[in-house]
Amino acid sequence: MKIIPGHGPLSDVVGLKQYHRMLVETTDIVRKKMKAGRTLEQIKAEDLPEEWKSWGTGFIKTDVWLQLIYNSLSKR
């Protein structure tokens, strides 16, 4: 089965599962750092683990992604 995303290359079920894992894990990383009292600037400076850094080279840059997560969690 092929998956046609709104952005990025053609994918498949494995790619979709990996993308979902990235969403869940990066959100959890930011959530934990926020609970530890980190500011948005500190979180950006700490960056993401190596595994997810390459995801920030395409459609959305890593610092923007971290800010989106941070802002979304701040509204809760």
Q: Show pLDDT as tens, one digit a residue, over the chain (76 residues).
A: 899 887 778 899 999 999 899 999 999 999 999 999 999 999 999 999 999 988 877 778 899 999 999 999 998 6
pTM confidence score = 0.87
Q: Would 56 be classed as within a structural domain?
A: yes
Q: Would 2 be classed as within a structural domain?
A: no
Domain ranges, residue 27: 13-74
Q: Would 68 be classed as within a structural domain?
A: yes
Q: Would 33 be classed as within a structural domain?
A: yes
Q: Would 3 be classed as within a structural domain?
A: no
Q: Which residues contact 43 (CB under 8 A, 6 or more apart)?
A: 30, 33, 34, 66, 70
**What integer pLDDT is reported at residue 63 of this predicted model?**
92
**What integer pLDDT is reported at residue 26 of this predicted model?**
96
Looking at the structure of the chain, the number of domains it has is 1
Biggest CA–CA distance in the chain, Å, is 43
Q: Would 32 be classed as within a structural domain?
A: yes
**What integer pLDDT is reported at residue 39 of this predicted model?**
97
